[in-house]
Structure 1
């Protein structure tokens, strides 16, 4: 199907499935034309919910504090504002990939 007929969520799914490396929400925004970072996180959240019934899995590379190295565990995809351990605002962005279930 031509890309202009795909939904935003389908474009994000195809992008993350075909990417050779994890992508941040800002990179996904740039590559898909989405205007808001929060919208990317919402689409990834819904893709992860759908993955339970589909043939893919959403891989999340969690954000880390650049000051103390703490890896921040997320319930939903988002960009945390502060480290829960040291309160630093120097946080890396979470990154995402999508792979088929059973792929190595």
Structure 2
């Protein structure tokens, strides 16, 4: 772990990870070492902190239902428990990236 990583906040570590590679909340949870349930709250703050500074964008490939393909969820920076179209609980996680 470098000095930057040891002194960085959880949100900074999440943002740095997303600048390197796209990731789901579960992957970020493992990478950063925080529970997946708290990653979504951190992601919302990271998304708000990226204002186009340095030409950066917070990008989201939205969650998608494995059964019917629905992907128009109201809040893509959240993990839906079930599909509003077919009620399936088989939802692929959203993928996040900063570029």
Question: What is the TM-score with the length of structure 2 in the denominator?
Answer: 0.88
Once the two structures are TM-superposed, the CA of residue 53 in structure 1 deviates from its matched residue by 5.7
Q: What is the CA–CA distance in structure 1 between the aligned matches of 2:15 and 2:50, rounded to whole Å? A: 11
Identify unmatched segments of 5+ residues in structure 1. Answer: 100-104
1:75 maps to which residue? 75
Q: What is the CA–CA distance in structure 2 between the aligned matches of 1:63 and 1:81, rounded to whole Å? A: 11
| Residues 76, 42 of structure 1: alpha-carbon distance in 2 compared, 3 angstrom cutoff | farther
Question: What is the TM-score with the length of structure 1 in the denominator?
Answer: 0.84
Equivalenced residue count is 96
Structure 1 residue ranges, 4+ long, deviating more than 3 angstroms after superposition: none
Identify unmatched segments of 5+ residues in structure 2. Answer: none
| 1:1-104 mapped onto 2 (5 Å cutoff) | 1-19=3-21, 22-34=22-34, 36-52=35-51, 54-55=53-54, 56-75=56-75, 77-99=77-99
Provide the aligned C-alpha RMSD in A. 1.5
Name the SS of the counterpart of 1:27 in structure 2. Answer: helix
Once the two structures are TM-superposed, the CA of residue 58 in structure 1 deviates from its matched residue by 0.8
Name the SS of the counterpart of 1:49 in structure 2. Answer: helix
